[in-house]
């Protein structure tokens, strides 16, 4: 067997932690742990041996019920324990077995305008921890900003010209990067908070030109063509490959992957 430096280091951490904390009880490797969401039975601000605990909250600090909390053992691939948060967002997980380092995460499933959405919550500490030492891990539902493991919490809005000829300059090719989008929230965002109007020029994203980090919600969107040195001109817009062009379009985000969301748009000159 080939041991890596990380494996050896974590083995030492586990042994040192064991001398100060009893690794008593626990569930068998790979068996789902129903957990104990009544974190009020102990001080939620105190680390406990063999326990990962904390709260899941929204952007206003309000507890989120029904969030799935999962701890993954980093030595035994596929070995996890999980539970759901209680009414106040609190949870508690037994991480005594198997021994070794653990990594926690949180996933929220919700419904918005009748459609299902899934989000990864952001931990206050994304580091692994020794199970026999225990850890506090709180999670926050953030609609924008960078994720600890890469990417953004917000959805992606992409924009594409269907016809790349500028009617005012037939010899010139239009660029998606010269499209300016204005997104005005149509009601509360997915977490119930009030959004703000966004006006920004398209930039390169992982899915094409557009806006890379927009809070998931329903928006009324309009577009302008704004190349440098030219007077901005309004564009017609629609959801990509759907329906007719209009001065504005109102739409929700759609799932791009498990916890990623996207709005795709077409634009053209009037």
pLDDT computed for residue 205 by the predictor? 96
- Per-residue pLDDT in tens (0 to 9) along the chain, 270 residues: 343 334 334 444 443 333 333 333 333 333 344 444 444 434 567 999 999 999 999 999 999 999 999 999 999 888 999 999 999 999 999 999 999 999 999 999 999 999 999 999 999 999 999 999 999 999 999 999 999 888 999 999 999 998 888 888 888 889 999 999 999 999 999 999 999 999 999 999 999 999 999 999 999 999 999 999 899 999 999 999 999 999 999 999 999 888 999 999 999 999
pLDDT computed for residue 78 by the predictor? 81
pLDDT computed for residue 43 by the predictor? 59
Task: Give pTM, 2 decimals.
Answer: 0.82
Asked whether the bond before 148 is cis by omega within 30 degrees of 0, the reply is no
pLDDT computed for residue 258 by the predictor? 83
pLDDT computed for residue 170 by the predictor? 84
pLDDT computed for residue 171 by the predictor? 82
Distance CA 268, CA 247 (A): 10
Domains identified in the chain and CATH numbers = 5-140 (2.60.40.10), 155-268 (no CATH)
- Residues present in the chain in total: 270
pLDDT computed for residue 21 by the predictor? 33
């Amino acid at each position: 067997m080939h041991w890596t430096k990380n494996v050896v280091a974590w083995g030492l951490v586990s042994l040192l932690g064991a001398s100060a904390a009893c690794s008593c009880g626990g569930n068998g490797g790979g068996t789902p742990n129903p957990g104990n969401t009544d974190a009020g039975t102990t001080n939620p601000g105190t680390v406990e041996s063999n326990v990962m605990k904390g709260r899941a909250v929204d952007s206003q600090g309000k507890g989120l019920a029904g969030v799935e909390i999962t701890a993954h053992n980093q030595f035994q691939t596929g070995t996890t324990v999980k539970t759901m948060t209680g009414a106040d967002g609190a949870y508690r997980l037994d991480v005594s077995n198997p021994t070794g380092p653990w990594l926690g995460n949180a996933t929220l499933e919700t419904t918005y305008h009748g459609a299902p959405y899934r989000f990864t919550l952001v931990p206050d500490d994304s580091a692994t921890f020794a199970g026999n030492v225990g850890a506090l891990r709180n999670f926050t539902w953030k609609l924008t900003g960078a994720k600890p493991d890469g990417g953004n919490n917000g959805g992606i809005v992409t924009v594409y010209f269907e016809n790349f000829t500028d009617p005012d300059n037939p010899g010139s090719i239009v660029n998606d990067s010269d499209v300016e989008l204005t997104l005005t929230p149509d009601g509360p965002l997915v977490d119930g908070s009030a959004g703000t109007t966004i006006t920004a020029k398209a930039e390169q994203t992982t899915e094409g030109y557009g806006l890379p980090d927009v809070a998931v919600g329903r928006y009324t969107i309009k577009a302008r063509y704004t190349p440098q040195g030219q007077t901005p001109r309004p564009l017609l817009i629609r959801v990509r490959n759907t329906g007719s062009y209009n001065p504005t379009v109102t739409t929700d985000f759609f799932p791009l992957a498990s916890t990623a969301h996207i709005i795709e748009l077409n634009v053209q000159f009037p």
